[in-house]
A and B are shown apart, each in its own frame.
Chain A
Amino acid sequence: MLLMNKFMIIVGHTYTNRLKSKAFMITTLITLLFVMAFANLETIIGLFSGEDEEERVAVVEEGANLFEHLQGQLEPYESEVKVEKFEGTEQEAKDAVTDGDYVGVLSVSLAEDNIPQGTYYTEQISEYKVSSLLEQALQQLKVTVASQSAQVEQATINEIMSPVAFEKVSLKEDAKTEEELSQTRGLVYIMLFLLYFGVLMYGSMISTEVATEKSSRVMEILISSVSPVKQMFGKIFGIALLGLTQFGLIVLVGYIAVQQNKEFLDSTSISSYLGFSNIEISTLIYAIVFFLLGYMLYATIAAVLGSLVSRTEDAQQVMTPMILLIVVAFFLAMTGLSNPEATYVTVTSFIPLFTPMLMFLRVGMLEVPMWEVAISLVILVATIVALGIIGGRIYRGGVLLYGRSSSFKDIKKALQLTKKE
């Protein structure tokens, strides 16, 4: 009872101490602002563009009479670009652009065979949207003119222009449909990012925490009160609670913001792309399981690494190999996202350091046999337990180890300190 209490005291101390820190409040606040900004993206963009902000383009025709057609083509894009017939010479039109009346001048003429061609004069040459819309419209016009002169029916043209019907169907019976895939892809994507940033952020938080206690030498008092292993896991759980608080806040704020902007989000493709509308419960459960296990794995490594350095400044340095591993796992997963059935994805999903990202990728994207998932989970949990035991011993010696160097030779020294001989 007393021992459990001490564990909780450490968890509580780690948690509240970090929670109260300015750095934590600021980063959380910034993230929350970012989430709200994202959910209100359209409103914000609308604020900047305003109502009368559609770009006006002057059209000068030389011997052609295509303005009506052009206007017709551009009608769907009225909010973005508006063409106006310019009565005057091309030079006068260019002057009007310089004066700021128009964003550019489109000079339309007819080449041989009555094919329309155009030149767009503008001061904003790097601007892309207007010019490409104009080009598209003119292209359409060209097709129409050319086919009319070849006496092709409008219906035939429409048929030629319409996209081909193409569908992908898996021959495996329980495979996910293309629609389901693109939905889970979004979730997997988000989850990979969360795992990546979560492990990086909270991992370095843990190792700094341990290194700070060591460098301030408060460690020796601590380990005379509570066993080092209990301290190590107390820290890991304390920071985990902190992470859950932070993620919880983000999800809550994100959810509220999304609810308020439901109409906008439903009307666009974002929500369906991210796959929120139709997630399988099992995928969500896997996400939580793999996230927590991934955190445990890397947090244990971070705590052990933190126990090896004598100065807080060295904590980041000793973390580098671990960070590199996470980056590798992240890139494997990111490339695997487009090809989850590749052999390298299958193989690496069983390597415990990569399992949280890659096995989750697989269960999210494919129908992975239950036994494969079970094996990878067993390996992962076994690794975490083994790391916990070995790490606990390294930690126990490491916290008594002070020296200038912070090399990995210290692991051996730390283990030696805990041995009897």
Chain B
Amino acid sequence: MALKLHNITKRFGSFTAVDELNLEIPEKQIFGFLGANGAGKTTTFRMILGLIDASEGDITWNDAAINYDKSHLIGYLPEERGLYPKLTVKDQLVYLGRLRGMNKQAILQELDKWLERFNVTEYRTKKIEELSKGNQQKIQFISAVIHKPQLLILDEPFSGLDPLNVELLKKAVIDMKNEGTSIVFSSHRMEHVEELCEHLCIMHKGSPVVHGSLKEVKRSFGKKNVVVHADFDVTYLKELPGVVKYKVVTGGCELQIENEQVAATIFDSLSGKGFVRTFDLEEPTLNDIFIEKVGASYE
């Protein structure tokens, strides 16, 4: 079971977009696919969907290749959004839904449910071009999920949405997962990935630099963060051995440290100096990991 990418390489002429990618994306979970622009995320998605062929390697889903016979089991939200500008929301989704193997009646039923859920029932008979960008995106999302796919691929699903709508869509994604859909999604926004994903992969120039479950990834990163808020001057902390990064914040500082032992040293050095309001040892954020893993090779 699950979606397996085995030794996937994709070359466009002399340019290698994806380089020997091995991934196993578990069933009924949300898998985060991270990477800077041009890291090969969209290309990978297109290969999974069979829109383009991999130069090498193979992709299987439930031990079989994905082809158009299975398109009713798969949902896709492309990064470049687009619907028929001149068609109404209803006509649009009826057409796209039928192409995913649904019948008209079922589509209309599902459509009403989703429109209600996204608070956009009044747009049912409006043309797409009359809708705001955010609302178009909701319709686009509906088009990707209306047929209750087993595998859902979301390319940057939350970009360009206001925080309220991001929450609305996030909730929908989580509900889809709970109903048994396997979801792969890409994002630049680390906090979304952190919030939603059990497993993730950070792509850099076509290869995965980090890969695994969120907990593992954080644990194996080693470095941790320490937040100190104190009534006295704490700038001396940046000179301590094992402190990698130092950042002044109101009422104290945030430190990135080599490992957990350093935290103990810091704690000891702080004691007796005065009143410490906060001392917090935190797991590294995905943002830290991303910047380190991807940013390092930019330099």
Contacts and interface: CB of A to CB of B under 8 A. Distances in A.
Contact of A400 (B51, B82, B100): B51
Interface in B97-125: 98-101
Interface in A209-228: 212-213, 216-227
Given A225-B71, A417-B52, A421-B11, A217 B81 contact: yes
Contacts, number: 76
A225 B100 contact: yes
Which secondary structure dominates chain A's binding surface? helix
A217 B68 CA distance: 20
26 contacts: A3-B68, A3-B69, A6-B98, A6-B101, A9-B98, A10-B99, A13-B95, A216-B83, A216-B84, A217-B81, A220-B82, A221-B76, A222-B96, A224-B74, A224-B78, A225-B68, A225-B99, A226-B71, A226-B99, A416-B13, A417-B12, A418-B52, A418-B53, A419-B53, A420-B54, A421-B55
Given A400-B46, A416-B13, A218 B82 contact: yes
Interface residues of B, number: 33
Contact of B71 (A9, A217, A224, A418): A224
Interface band, chain A:
20 to 34
Contact of A221 (B52, B69, B143): B143
B87 to A, nearest CB: 8
Nearest to B80: A217
Contacts of B53: 418-420
Given A216-B82, A416-B12, A221 B51 contact: no
Interface in B48-84: 49, 51-56, 68-69, 71-72, 74, 76, 78, 80-84
Most buried by A among B49, B69, B84: B84
A2 interface: yes
B78 A6 contact: no
A217 B51 CA distance: 15
Contacts of A400: 46, 51-52
A221 B71 contact: no
B38 interface: no
A2 B80 CA distance: 28
Given A9-B98, A227-B68, A421-B11, 9 more contacts: A2-B72, A2-B101, A217-B81, A220-B51, A220-B82, A221-B144, A417-B52, A418-B53, A419-B53
A140 B52 CA distance: 83
B85 interface: yes
Contacts of B74: 224
